[in-house]
Structure 1
């Protein structure tokens, strides 16, 4: 019995239909997995916008001057004793803050907060110092 002769007579064929199915499944798999990766160009961001000068809000510069019961004056972390009647350093401090407000084109306010036991003379000294610094907007607040 010759086996080689039997194989030579049979025609070998390749099944194409299952190969096409496998190729389509691989194609679908790669298409689905490729869309899950986020590309760099898809990241959204906002650029800063140009704002017109008219749309900007003015933030006022406010100075709080506290007068304690013993007559000392406190402003922006500085303390002036009762013995300093002219308050020249206070005039320089307030005038400097007013110049900063003018440079920023912001409104400038001075708020005086006297203690209920403060002497009126000391309040007048603070008002004179504010007038010497050229303050136009001076208000008083009630102490708590």
Structure 2
């Protein structure tokens, strides 16, 4: 007996490849690109009792409020919806240049309010990184009960 020629069935892969490319293009178009955030190492505050408060004249305090306002030494910088914060960056660059000229280290203390969005704190950290200020610390909230 002769074996009959089996009919070879082929699956056409063209439509599946087209679907994969369409999905790839869809996800590339709908995704958003975020800029790289700066990495700044900082020390979190600890609890320590001191007999006398230490005066640090070269320290700048940045306050961040819940509505997105950013104040540097009681002066408001940039609008709450501006993530780039060019006014704050310019001021911090001048502060860094002055500190370098006086041969002291530029210090920034960030004092965020209790309900401040984390993204706004990251925006301020990015502004410090753009000004090349590495000595950044956070202020602790004072307890009303103490």
Structures share a fold, TM > 0.5? yes
Q: CA deviation at 1:85?
A: 1.4
Unaligned runs of 5+ in 1: 1-58
* Alignment correspondent of 2:104: 106
The Cα offsets for residues 40-88 of structure 1, whole Å up to 9 and x where unpaired, read as xxxxxxxxxxxxxxxxxxx651110000111110003321321221101
| Displacement after TM superposition at 1:112 (Å) | 0.4
Aligned residues: 86
The aligned counterpart of 2:6 is none
Q: Tell me, what secondary structure is at the counterpart of 2:67?
A: coil
Report the TM-score when normalising by structure 1: 0.56
- Structure with the bigger RCO (C-alpha within 8 Å, sep 6+) is 2
Matches within 5 A, 1:1-144: 61-80=58-77, 81-144=79-142
The runs of at least 4 aligned residues of structure 1 exceeding 4 Å deviation read none
User: For residues 123 and 138 of structure 1, what CA distance do their matches in structure 2 show?
Assistant: 12
Once superposed, what is the RMSD of the aligned Cα atoms? 1.4
Query: Larger C-alpha radius of gyration, 1 or 2?
Result: 1
CA distance in 2, matches of 1:82, 1:75: 14
Give the TM-score, by structure 2 length: 0.55
Question: What is the DSSP-based 3-state SS (H/G/I as helix, E as strand, rest coil) of the residue aligned with 1:117?
Answer: coil
Distance in 1 (CA, whole Å) between partners of 2:67 and 2:74 is 17
Moved more, 78-87 or 131-140: 78-87
Counting helix residues as a fraction of each chain, which structure ranks higher? 1
